[in-house]
Amino acid sequence: MSAVADAAGRSAPAPATRERTGLPRRVARNRRAQLGVALAGPVVLLALLGPLLAPHAPTVFVGRPFEGPSSSAPLGTDYLGQDVLSRLLWGGRSVLWMSLAATFLGVAVGVWAGLVAGYTRRSIDAAIMGVSDLVLGLPQIVLALLFVSMLGPKLWLIVVLVAAAHAPRVARLTRSVTLEVTRREFVEAAEVLGVGRWRIRIDEVLPNLVTPLAVETGIRLTWSIGMIAAISFLGFGIQPPNADWGLMINENRTGLSVQPWPVVGAVLCISVFAIGVNLIAEGISRTVAGDDGREAP
Amino acid sequence: MSRVVEVADLRVELAGSGLDIVDEVSFGIDAAEIVAVVGESGSGKTTVGAALLGYARHGARIARGSVRVDGVDVLALGPEALRAARGKLVAYVPQDPATALNPAVTIGVQLVEALKAHDECAGQQERRERVRQTLAEVQLPDDDAFLKRLPHQLSGGQKQRVCIAMAVACRPRCIVFDEPTTGLDVTTQAHVLETVRTLCATHGIASVYITHDLAVVATLAHRVLVTYAGRIVEQGPCEAVFTRPRHPYTQRLVAATPHVHVRQVLEGIAGSAPAPRRRPQGCSFAPRCAFAEARCRELEPPLTLVAPGQEVRCVRAEELSITPRASLAVVGESASSPAAAPLVELDNVTAYYGGVAAARDVSFALHAGECLAVVGASGSGKTTIARTIVGLHVDRSGAIRLDGEELPRAAKDRPLAVRQALQFVFQNPYGSLNPRRSVGDIVAMPLRHFAGIRGREALPRVEEALERVSLSPAFAQLYPGQLSGGERQRVALARAMVCEPRILICDEITSALDVSVQASIVRLLERLRAESGLSMLFITHNLALVRALADRVVVMQDGRIVESGDASDVLLRASHSYTQRLLRDTPRLEPLTINQHEVKGAVR
């Protein structure tokens, strides 16, 4: 890299080679991420704006059960005779907000635990990682169902349970990055100044966590969608007569051979959403992988 | 003597853009001859070395030229033949032996593997014999116990010898050494250099030795190629090039090299070698050259013969050969007058690592305004002592006092004023700056921590601190990944200086840098010292640097102080055998000191 001296004899940075493109912009150039946005984007829009566009309310009976597509019900009717299209348009909101909330809650708790565990006394580290291993060792869905059947199908409870399933995994990742980063000399440079542990965690470690966490959050979100849809399908999530994609699959599976649209529509929405999110996560992770060596000396 | 290597008109370019990384490189090496390739980072010296093995790094390709080793055109070989030639015809010794050896495989197996790959010896018995013989040649033990060791059980010097043994095992005609002693301390380096010298002589191996350290070249090589921006700018016998360097770049490199014998002002070279896409028209060195004229910026000068065997790529070579070297100034010994009370005082400090003492009963004092150097080989405990003083290493006994006040062990338990007064600069500028934070943020961090100054308020202070280390304020927006090693180390110094410290502790802060960059950092330290009345503790294994910078010196061996005193006394009249050995092992540019009268007359 070339630098020229300015009038005062100081070196000035040479501008041309010093461009630094941010991660979001580079991710946006990634093919997988683009495809992911193309898939997940419309589903998100559908879930958000659907209720405004729906021809009917989700709980109105527009015909007999399992009728085929007609002018009043473009995708036919479901097992109770409600409009399938309207229920699809109404049924995405819950999956969307619940999976987002569960993911971010899980990531937040995981990052907190990982930051503490990775840069603290050994005993506290051991305690945190012990709890996290315990949670990881239990079958997540069975545990979730156990709690829901005990406490009732409350949506916040599902969010908390899914988040609890994510937190240990995020904590492990955060801890390993923290362990690696806090061994570097810039952390010692802060310690010499007497900077406190939380300041070091936030100012020195967290910026180095951004990229691995971006990847991890994408993967966690894919998981959340699947798990929340599964819980709804099993009947522990949103309760009828409310519309929900996971629930719709369960309600209408008996009529699959007569009127496939409610099941097919809900499955399509969930899978396209999950696949899209997964592709975005994949795109981030590949962009980050291409970074290796950029930061290295 | 017979020519073994003949490189003609070599050009390596970036695969996509077709920009040249190196071009017009031609040279030859005789049997048993050692040719050194010197230059700063980015001058293309490693690219030249790799091309001898028919290799170009990812993203580069060998575009033109020929490399003949022992009559074989290496560049014309197919993949299979090339694989066979590497190791057997041309071997390579890497810079970092720690990553070159497989950590999970024993030394013996790795050495035998090298022989097997080339069907060098018939049968297991003969291979074992050859391995033992080669290990003896590189002065390593050749018993079974040693062969069963894993790389992590060896010292840095031993690992490098294993790498050399691997290269020599197949009896190649030519070996490329890529800065093999950069990470080693002087004593180990001296041993490795001796090994290289003997091996090349006994087996008639033609060697290329890549380095940025002219002193190493002077002690080892027969001829030297000085590379800059991918061109050979000067070549000739070491003796001639170092006594009468003709190219301004060579002159500046010589001026940047510290000497053990003379206390001299080290002159760095401002700026850095231009990357392929940023090379100027005409002579590449012109933007950094004090003698550049209009014609230098127009046409690239050809390599011309100026003396028997000495070629220079400079239009002013003839006149410059009589121009006294611009910046070689010998300075008088600074009269150190220890103040009455010491600033920092160590009283029988013993530092432990897991119950083992890394430094024992260390006592010394640092006075106001003084620069005290602590020297020793790796493992002598010098870094441990520095870390103990600053409160990073807490497992110690004994007392450390600042202004007569005893300091708590850990930095976090010390009063704010103490933490501000004692600043530490780390050895590795690649590890000591957070890659995810901007330079401005990094320098502002102590301000925020000590004075609660943040954001816009901190900006003038940050810019002032950058200014003090000769960086323009525009650096505040950059990230460490965008800086060169020297620039990073300046940022690390700015972070320390922004605290307005009274004592600066520098832990081998130039060991990862080019000699030319090292010289400018040393100049900077001297200026900071003069401007701010700083006291300095300078940890190093480089005695020549001590000579350039320090007033007093403490020599450590195996955790103990073996000698201490005024720098000039210790370096000129060392009394302890260990100091004498360190001095003996320090490579030096002998020719320059022979011509000292000329040097002394050249005070700027």
Amino acid at site A141: I
d(CA A237, CA A95): 10
Cα-based distances in Å from A41 to A38, A45, A218, A243, A280 = 6, 6, 14, 21, 11
Q: Is residue A23 part of a domain?
A: no
| Through-space distance between the first and last CA atoms of chain B, rounded to whole angstroms | 43
Quick one: closest CA in A to B449, which residue? A195
pLDDT of residue B321: 63
Least CB–CB distance from A192: residue in B411, B442, B478: B411
Q: Is A7 on the interface with B (CB under 8 A)?
A: no
What angle separates helix A31-53 from helix A261-291, to the nearest 10 degrees?
140
Instruction: For residue range B473-490, list pLDDT tens digits in order.
Output: 889 988 888 888 888 999
Q: Find how far residue B202's CA is from the centre of its chain.
A: 28
pLDDT of residue B457: 86
d(CA B179, CA B197): 15
Give the distance from residue B520's alpha carbon to the nearest chain A alpha carbon, in angstroms: 12
Q: A272 is in which domain, residue-wise? A: 43-291
Least CB–CB distance from B428: residue in A1, A6, A185: A185
Instruction: For residue range B338-359, list pLDDT tens digits in order.
Output: 556 789 999 999 999 888 889 9
Q: Is B290 on the interface with A (CB under 8 A)?
A: no
Cα-based distances in Å from A134 to A105, A110, A224, B578 = 19, 14, 20, 57
Residue contact A207–B434, C-beta within 8 A: yes
Give the distance from residue A212's alpha carbon to the nearest chain B alpha carbon, in angstroms: 13
For chain A, counts of helices (H) and of strands (E): 12, 2
Cα-based torsion angle of the residue sequence A203, A209, A214, A219 in order, rounded to the nearest 10 degrees: -140
Q: How many CB atoms lie within 10 A of CB B108?
A: 18
Q: Which residue has the tokens 């409310």?
A: A242
Strand, helix or coil for residue B329: strand
Residue ranges of chain B whose pLDDT lies below 50: 323-328, 335, 591-604
Amino acid at site B345: E
What is the DSSP code string of B245-276? --SHHHHHHHHHS--SSS-EE----SS-PPPG
Contact predicate B434/A207, CB 8 Å: yes
Cα-based distances in Å from B465 to A45, B83, B493 = 51, 53, 9
pLDDT of residue A279: 92
Q: Which residues of B touch A14 (CB under 8 A)?
A: 278
Contact predicate A258/A64, CB 8 Å: no
Residue in A289, A286, A262 with CA at minimum distance from that of residue A90: A262
- Among B420, B438, B445, B466, the strongest candidate for a mutation testing the A interface, having the largest count of A CBs within 10 A, is B445
d(CA B565, CA B578): 15
Residue contact A189–B426, C-beta within 8 A: yes
Residue ranges of chain A whose pLDDT lies below 50: 1-8, 15-19, 292-297
Q: Is residue A22 part of a domain?
A: no
Give the distance from residue A32's alpha carbon to the nearest chain B alpha carbon, in angstroms: 25
Q: Which residue has the tokens 């202070």?
A: B461
Q: Which domains, from first to last, does chain B contain?
A: 245-332 (no CATH), 344-586 (3.40.50.300)
Residue contact B470–A11, C-beta within 8 A: yes
Q: Is residue A19 part of a domain?
A: no
CA angle at residue B592 from B589 to B598, to 5 degrees?
165
Contact predicate B425/B509, CB 8 Å: yes
Quick one: closest CA in A to B446, which residue? A193
pLDDT of residue A16: 39
Instruction: For residue range B54-99, list pLDDT tens digits in order.
Output: 998 888 899 999 999 998 999 999 999 998 899 889 999 988 888 8
Residue contact B478–A6, C-beta within 8 A: no
Q: Is residue A159 part of a domain?
A: yes
For residue A240, whether the previous peptide bond is cis, meaning omega lies within 30 degrees of 0, is no
Q: Which residue has the tokens 């990775």?
A: A118
Q: Is residue A35 part of a domain?
A: no
Amino acid at site B235: Q
Count of domains observed in chain A: 1
Q: How many CB atoms lie within 10 A of CB A266?
A: 29
d(CA B228, CA B234): 9
Q: What is the DSSP letter of B139?
A: T
Q: Is B284 on the interface with A (CB under 8 A)?
A: no
Quick one: closest CA in B to A197, which residue? B412
- CB–CB contacts below 8 A, A to B: 119
Q: Is A137 on the interface with B (CB under 8 A)?
A: no
Q: How many CB atoms lie within 10 A of CB A52?
A: 7
Strand locations in B120-173 (E): none
Q: Is A9 on the interface with B (CB under 8 A)?
A: yes
Q: How many CB atoms lie within 10 A of CB B413?
A: 13
- What's the 3-state SS for A22-42? CHHHHHHCCHHHHHHHHHHHH
Residue in B138, B124, B214 with CA at minimum distance from that of residue B169: B138
Q: Is B390 on the interface with A (CB under 8 A)?
A: yes
Q: Taking the CA of residue B224 as centre, how many other CA atoms within 13 Å lie in the half-sphere pointing to its CB?
A: 30
Contact predicate B89/B174, CB 8 Å: yes
Least CB–CB distance from A13: residue in B391, B434, B478: B478
CATH number, domain with residue A155: 1.10.3720.10
Residue contact B432–A210, C-beta within 8 A: no
Contact predicate B159/B108, CB 8 Å: no
Q: What is the DSSP letter of B133?
A: H
Q: Is A5 on the interface with B (CB under 8 A)?
A: yes
Cα-based distances in Å from B603 to B292, B322, B325, B407 = 21, 15, 9, 45
Quick one: closest CA in B to A188, which residue? B392
Residues 6 or more apart whose CB falls under 8 angstroms from that of B235 comprise: B27, B223, B224, B225, B226, B241, B303, B310, B311
Quick one: closest CA in B to A3, which residue? B271
Strand, helix or coil for residue A264: helix
Residues 249-278, chain B, touching A (beta carbon < 8 A): 270-275, 277-278
Strand-strand pairing, B34-38 and B90-93: unpaired
d(CA B319, CA B296): 14
d(CA B438, CA B161): 40
Q: What is the Cα gyration radius of chain B?
A: 25
Residue in B146, B211, B221 with CA at minimum distance from that of residue B183: B211
Amino acid at site B573: R
pLDDT of residue B596: 38
d(CA B240, CA B255): 16
Q: Which residue has the tokens 């002589």?
A: B201
Q: Is residue A16 part of a domain?
A: no
